[in-house]
Chain A
Amino acid sequence: NAGVTQTPKFQVLKTGQSMTLQCAQDMNHNSMYWYRQDPGMGLRLIYYSASEGTTDKGEVPNGYNVSRLNKREFSLRLESAAPSQTSVYFCASSQDYSGNTIYFGEGSWLTVV
């Protein structure tokens, strides 16, 4: 059982470049999330999709866009990468938006130089 799979695992970008982080879950979950994790700052929600067809901003959405492609897939796009976006990114999913266990991917390490 793969759970939540995100790619790529590691990426180095130059300032101004764009890239998309891909995420897929095989648990038939309705809700999906993108978080970033930075030292000393815990987990911060970037965007979430409470259900297929909807997306909403989280705590730190600036500089990012998302697409809920279908029930399984939720991608995160950096249109013009900045050094401040150097972080570890986690995709996650849960059965529903509130009250449920959240299942995380293994993380994507992104460095912007």
Chain B
Amino acid sequence: AQSVTQLGSHVSVSEGALVLLRCNYSSSVPPYLFWYVQYPNQGLQLLLKYTSAATLVKGINGFEAEFKKSETSFHLTKPSAHMSDAAEYFCAVSDTGGFKTIFGAGTRLFVKA
């Protein structure tokens, strides 16, 4: 069975600081992993996606995530936070084995000036 855990429901960083949002997953088959972002009063949109081509995945707005099989992790990072990064971020796991996508509970990112 698949599952995904996001550590920390809220993360607060200063503008210009490193952003690190944590995600751990479990999957019985090689996973597809996603990060989605939700800005206030909007739907979710894809930030980046891992599909086994490369372990370091680059997404939009300077975000990237690294797939670490040994740690079953897919943490999201950005070197320098911007005020516009304030949003809720969802990690998700799926695969091509017939399992539907499972979303984590979400992490709300606050960026302080």
Which A residues are within 8 Å of any B CB, using their own CB? 4, 40-43, 45, 48, 90, 92, 94, 97-107
B49 touches A97 (CB 8 A): no
Chain A interface secondary structure, helix, strand, loop or mixed? Answer: loop
A103, B41: Cα distance in complex, Å: 16
Q: With an 8 A cutoff between CB atoms, is B9 at the interface?
A: yes
A107 touches which of B43, B45, B99 (Cβ 8 Å): B43
**Contact string, B83-113, partner A, CB cutoff 8 A, digits 1/0?**
0000000101011111111011110000000
**Contact string, B25-36, partner A, CB cutoff 8 A, digits 1/0?**
000000010101
Chain B interface secondary structure, helix, strand, loop or mixed? Answer: loop
Which B residues are within 8 Å of any A CB, using their own CB? 9, 32, 34, 36, 41-46, 49, 51, 90, 92, 94-101, 103-106
Q: Quick one: given A40-B9, A42-B90, A101-B34, are A107 and B41 in contact (CB under 8 Å)?
A: yes
